[in-house]
């Protein structure tokens, strides 16, 4: 998961595509392009048999060069621009190319990536994009680094909601506690731990779960006030997470009720 800051200073958490996923999508794309290049070259070669172009080496070289540029550069750039960062391989693997600020790529991004594509994949036999992807935080290849783009995953498995109730012995504490200062990244780590503990049950490594819960509880305690009653670290984290969820739900419900009331008032107003 990578954090992207848009031009409006909005933080987005976009799942970056791994090197393996992008490599498979690139292999599919280049396989299709090679087949298309072979078919196109054979077609132009057969069409030139009945003309004088077949005996002219300069004309044959020009046609071959033009066909190669058309198939390996112009076609991928056009497809990537019109589909807004997609291709056949990326569509199959669930990958999309976006700008570093999370926006849709434009023609200039596709042109830069398209011009560097043959250099990366053909002349280096895929070694350059492999090395760049391994040592890049977002799995970028050389064309992405120059164009300012990266690949994200567009298909994610559905995540079922986690409906953990507030522990009974901490319900009175959660009614007065201030949990609004807990940072969102820390709350996300707590949610991941609780989801892991919920899936593992008694069959998981309880020692590791308890140790991780103790460490996270020590990080969360400075952000809550008043101090919690005596309880285990897991119960404390469950109470904080459940109360944050409940308060967010109540806030969203109040906003929806205000919006519905405003909508009713606007529709009751006489039209001039």
Per residue in 233-272, pLDDT (tens digit) is: 888 998 888 888 888 888 888 988 888 888 887 777 665 4
Structure tokens at 83: 């589909």
Q: Which residue has the tokens 């198939």?
A: 71
User: Among 121-125, 146-150, 154-158, 165-169, which stretch is predicted with the lowest mean pLDDT?
Assistant: 154-158
Closest CA to 148 of 160, 158, 136: 136
CA atoms within 13 A of residue 50's CA, in its CB half-sphere: 3
Please report the sign of the dihedral spanned by the C-alpha atoms of residue 151, residue 157, residue 162, residue 163.
positive
Q: Which residue has the higher pLDDT, 10 or 246?
A: 246
Please report the sign of the dihedral spanned by the C-alpha atoms of residue 30, residue 122, residue 59, residue 57.
negative
**Which pLDDT score is estimated for 243?**
87
**Which residues neighbour 118 within 8 Å (Cβ) at sequence distance 6 or greater?**
72, 73
Torsion of CA 71, 76, 81, 87, to 10 degrees: 130
pTM as predicted: 0.60
What does the H/E/C string look like for 182-251? Answer: CCHHHHHHHHHHHHHHHHHHHHCCHHHHHHHHHHHHHHHHHHCECCCCCCCHHHHHHHHHHHHHHHHHHH
């Amino acid at each position: 998961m990578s954090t992207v800051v848009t031009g409006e200073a909005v933080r987005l958490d976009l799942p970056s595509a791994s090197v393996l996923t992008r490599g498979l999508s690139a292999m599919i794309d280049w396989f299709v392009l090679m087949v298309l290049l072979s078919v196109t070259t054979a077609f132009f070669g057969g069409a030139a048999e009945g003309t004088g172009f077949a005996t002219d080496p300069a004309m044959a070289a020009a046609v071959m060069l033009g066909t190669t540029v058309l198939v390996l550069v112009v076609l991928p750039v056009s497809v990537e621009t019109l589909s807004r960062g997609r291709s056949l391989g990326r569509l199959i693997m669930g990958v999309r190319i976006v700008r570093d600020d999370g926006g849709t790529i434009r023609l200039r991004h596709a042109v830069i990536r398209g011009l560097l594509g043959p250099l990366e994949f053909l002349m280096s036999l895929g070694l350059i994009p492999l090395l760049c992807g391994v040592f890049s935080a977002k799995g970028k290849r050389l064309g992405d680094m120059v164009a300012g783009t990266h690949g994200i995953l567009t298909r994610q498995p559905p995540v079922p909601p986690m409906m953990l109730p507030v522990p009974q012995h901490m319900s009175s504490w959660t009614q007065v506690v201030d949990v609004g200062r807990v940072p969102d990244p820390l709350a996300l780590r707590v949610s991941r731990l609780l989801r892991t503990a919920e899936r593992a049950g008694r069959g998981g490594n309880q020692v590791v779960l308890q140790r991780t819960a103790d460490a996270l509880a020590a990080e969360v305690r400075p952000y809550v006030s008043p101090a919690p009653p005596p309880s285990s670290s897991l119960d404390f984290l469950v109470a904080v997470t459940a109360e944050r969820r409940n308060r967010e739900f109540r806030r969203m419900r109040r906003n929806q009720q205000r919006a519905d009331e405003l909508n009713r008032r606007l529709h009751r107003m006489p039209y001039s």
